[in-house]
Structure 1
Amino acid sequence: MEKNIIAHSYKIGVDDRRKMNGHHSFLIFFTGLSGSGKSTLANALEEKLHKNGLRTYVLDGDNVRQGINSNLSFEPEDRSENLRRIGEVSKLFVDAGIIVLAAFIAPYKKDRDFIKKTVGETNYIEVFVNTSLEVCEQRDVKGLYAKARSGEIKNMTGVSAPYESPINPDVEVSNENSIQESVDIIYDTIKNQIRLKK
């Protein structure tokens, strides 16, 4: 079957879309424990980018699992498939000329590396939201840690499943930074990558 699949070549490409939008397109990938603040930061950064006239879209773990990935569990194999799909969707958005902000736990390095390879190394900015497990448990906005501790939830990252921290992320923020400080730190990292060179 694969030998019968031939990619069609179109006249309008990513450079044309970027030129029309007036800015580069790339993926900003937020990774960290549940409750670390990934979605909050992605939302706040998108607001800043949007106000600056940039085309953006946020892919959020919980939101995506209600739709395109609703058939996946939290077993390791399904976690990887969840992120494989996110990598492919992100690639499409980047090709469309859009700045993508993705907020996912993404506990395994191999899955983050796959996404980086999929969208292209120069189109991938990794943001490690390095909030301690203790702080995440104190927040426990969704009540997941309490359920994991009681055994109600299996394969909970940080409790009964591992989280492989990024070794060399492009940006690292923590709970010691305010939301605004974190947004400023991330923006300072990406600002030179946003605008097209004249």
Structure 2
Amino acid sequence: MEVGKTYSIAYRGLKPGLHDFDFKVGRELFEAFSAGDIKDGACDVHVRLDRAETQLVIDVRITGHVVVECDRCLEDCRIPVDYDGRLLVRFSDEEREYDGDVLWLSPVEDEVDLMQYIYESIVLSLPYQRVHPEGECNPEMMRRFPHRLGRGVRRHRGPRPRAGRGVDPGGGTVETCGAEGGDGGRGAGFRHRKRGKTERIDTSNL
């Protein structure tokens, strides 16, 4: 079975009203997005779908953990995941762009694929700084990279900016992190948070 089919819901035969679905997320989902930062993980996804005549309202709850590279020591680091979100699915004969909140489907479609939404929701739920608890970093790596913290940043593409964060001309949200004066070479970093492909950007030389 294709990975995408694992996270699809056939809504055509559902009666109007509420319907519950549960999915397990593991390594196979993260391997499908090989350009991402997540190496492994185990999450439970609960979906409550409200079927109406003109749209689907999908509430998603994700809990569990993922394994990423620690920003301090570069070793594998387990980060908890706790996410609640809502996706609206509407129908149109015209092709419309997905904006992170509303997914448009053709009226002839009979299922909705939540693979991309689940992956992006997990990525966006992660903290800006992904590190081991204090004292749990690999001491050997810390000696080799004493100024590692603050040098790496990540960029996410997708949802519109939320209130309280800076906005860049590309429509994303920008937050500074790791900016400290007189720190022996640490540069101010930022994380550009949007839905979509995740890429690591180094601003130490900017």
Q: Scaled by the length of structure 2, what TM-score is found?
A: 0.26
Bigger radius of gyration among the two: 2
Q: Scaled by the length of structure 1, what TM-score is found?
A: 0.26
Name the one with the larger strand percent: 2
Q: Between the two structures, name the one with larger relative contact order (CA 8 Å, sep ≥ 6).
A: 1
